[in-house]
Chains A and B, each alone.
Chain A
Amino acid sequence: MLKKTAINKISELAAVLMEKGTLLAPVKEAAGFNFREISDAGQVNLHFHNTIISPKSAFFPQMEDFVRYQTGKSILEAAPVELNLKPVFLFGVRPCDVKSFEIMDIHFSGTGAVDPYWKKRREAATIFGHAFDLNEAADPAEFYHTLGIGAADPQGSDIFMVTKDNDLLFKSITPKGKKLLEELTMLTEASAGDRKYFEDYIARGHDYKTRFASVEPKAIATEFESIFDNREFWKNVSNACLSCGVCTFVCPTCYCFDICDETLFNKGTRRRVWDACMFTDFTLEASGHNPRTNVYQRLRQKICHKYSFSIRKYGVISCVGCGRCTRYCPVNIDIFSIVEQAVKAKWYKRL
């Protein structure tokens, strides 16, 4: 099913979605765009390249409350926080970010214990994917093409959106998306021309070039395994690294978290908050032992986790090439360049 509406009527669509449930869509803020829960339909703004924080926060919010309790009272009085979600519409997700959900699914609900929060939030959501503007140059930081993701890949979305001049085209990809699209009566039927445009656009998306390197998962995993102990290499690439958490917090596939007990006046909440393997205390043990005290070890962990460990454990590269980590790195560290160098790193002198 392909439907459409004029871009300047997007707020009308937003209003309908807000009525049906919770709408999360890009909003322009001081520093750039971010997905926010929309309280005013006029806030939705699709004139963005990509958001600062990835849309993972829709399913894995930076802060998720588990339990509320009172200190000094019995554990039996503690109250787990129940998620009673309305339908969630995640609107305007770029294809690379849509791909990230698939990778995160493997971790949170596809293997081992199922994370109930991720699963519930994921099930409640309908994803409106949104193709990149192919007429616009790719951001120099991006490299999703390297990860086999096209600029207009509809896979993973429930509904996929493509801009055509002043119109926005909506195509249902999944049954869930189809059902919703049927319900969105304020959208009009698309024409045959629109259909053609849509298909062509998606095809063109594959030719749209971001930075590209040939990375075959198994091979790259091996590559990183072989240089894991090459301290010279890792120290070199991490010379500039500040060991802050920007790259991991903006990353769509970073999932590390901490579980904290936060109390005030005898009232407490146990919650999880994002954590970052780049933080010095991430692996600090109560004994004082810390297996990763150096910056290079932490940067190595982050990169190898994505380009080696994840491949071994989950079979996928845990990176979608969205370029956020590079774009927001205060010292311009570029994961793509490091991956490129890693391939050549065999020739580095070992210490």
Chain B
Amino acid sequence: MTNKNPYIPMPVKISRIIDEVDTHDIKTFRFEFLNKEDEAGFKYLPGQFGELSIYGKGESPIGIASSPTQKGYVEFTVQRAGAVVPGMVTSALHEMEEGALMGIRGPLGKSWPLEYLEGKNIVIVGGGFAFTTLRSLINYMIYGKNRERFGSITIIYGARNPGLLLYKDELIEWGKRTDLNLNVTVDKADAAWKGREGFVPAVCKEVAPGKENAVAVICGPPVMIRFTLPVFFDLGFSKANIITSLEMRMKCGIGKCGRCNVGSKYVCTDGPVFSLAELDNLTQEY
């Protein structure tokens, strides 16, 4: 039963931990599978998620931060949850060290609609910690010949301050590329910050391409989304061409436990990626 039982996590080793931000509450964990067949079976696309599993603590659904083009490992960027009472799994994870073993279930859920995105101009809008699966998408789209499959790529990524930006090395690399329009902004700059200062919606207004043949992929905190969507509506983007990813309490991740049920959808299997048009058909309970 072990091999096919979707409830039993696959063993992985933490091969690398990157402390992403100044506040030390977001780390990226790189996992390597202990079993080759598990690695082979873990075929994923950007936008999907996995259940990070620690026996004795529980499981936590986290979006996959690496791109399938990165071979030999998967990465998850995890924020320590809970302001007053820390989340069981995420805080245990944050106390883990490189070399430690734990479990993963997945890949779970639907990916960003890559086929739909092909040939289109892509605007990626990310805010704060929610940038993880967008990073996966970016790395996927710019990998080798993949880049040819997509039109222009505009990235708008914002954080509250420079210290809270994720993937700082990659941002530098992406910034050097000419086939990407990278716009990194912070709400509040510090002395060392040379880049943009300003809120994501304002930057979107400035740099987003026209609606023609374009799709916006947006992930961020609710307040960012609330102010960003009107920008794209004003630009004439249809709801079908604005795509986002939902957060919802999930347990099983495979559409059985009923927890993430919203209307006739299960966020874990029918999502977490939805277009605004799809969300409009969903009951507003997420």
Q: Name A residues whose Cβ lies closer than 8 Å to a Cβ of B.
A: 66-67, 69, 71, 74-76, 78, 80, 82-83, 107-108, 111-116, 228-229, 255-261, 263, 268, 270, 272, 275, 277, 282-288, 291-292, 297, 301, 304-305, 308-310, 312-313
Q: Is B6 an interface residue (CB 8 A)?
A: yes
* B101 engages A309 (CB within 8 Å): no
- Point out the residues of chain B lying under 8 angstroms from A287, CB to CB: 81, 247
Bound form: Cα–Cα A259–B81 in Å: 19
* A292 engages B285 (CB within 8 Å): yes
* A301 engages B261 (CB within 8 Å): yes
Q: List 9 A-B contacts (CB under 8 A).
A: A66-B5, A112-B256, A112-B269, A116-B1, A255-B256, A258-B251, A283-B248, A283-B249, A285-B248
- Point out the residues of chain A lying under 8 angstroms from B258, CB to CB: 255-257, 275, 277, 305
Inter-chain residue pair count (beta carbon < 8 A): 122
* A71 engages B82 (CB within 8 Å): no
Bound form: Cα–Cα A260–B87 in Å: 14
Q: Name B residues whose Cβ lies closer than 8 Å to a Cβ of A.
A: 1-2, 4-9, 11, 34, 55-60, 81-83, 87, 90, 101-103, 247-249, 251-252, 254-259, 261-265, 269, 283-286
* B283 engages A228 (CB within 8 Å): yes
Partner of B264, one of A80, A256, A313: A313
- Point out the residues of chain B lying under 8 angstroms from A272, CB to CB: 7, 257
Bound form: Cα–Cα A304–B82 in Å: 31
Bound form: Cα–Cα A268–B56 in Å: 6
Q: Would you give the shortest CB distance from B280 to chain A, in whole angstroms?
A: 13
- Point out the residues of chain A lying under 8 angstroms from B262, CB to CB: 291
Bound form: Cα–Cα A74–B101 in Å: 7
- Point out the residues of chain B lying under 8 angstroms from A66, CB to CB: 5, 7-8
Q: Would you give the shortest CB distance from A240 to chain B, in whole angstroms?
A: 22
Interface centre among A75, A108, A116, A291 (most CB of B within 10 A): A75
Query: Can you name the residue of chain B whose Cβ is closest to the Cβ of A64?
Result: B7
- Point out the residues of chain A lying under 8 angstroms from B87, CB to CB: 286
| 6 closest residue pairs by CB, A with B | A256-B258, A312-B264, A71-B56, A113-B254, A286-B81, A309-B264
Partner of A285, one of B57, B83, B247: B247
Q: Would you give the shortest CB distance from A314 to chain B, in whole angstroms?
A: 9
Query: Can you name the residue of chain A whose Cβ is closest to the Cβ of B60?
Result: A286
* A259 engages B56 (CB within 8 Å): no
- A80-B1, A113-B256, A305-B261 known; A69 and B286 CB under 8 Å? no
Query: Can you name the residue of chain B whose Cβ is closest to the Cβ of A228?
Result: B283
Q: Would you give the shortest CB distance from B86 to chain A, in whole angstroms?
A: 9
Bound form: Cα–Cα A296–B66 in Å: 41
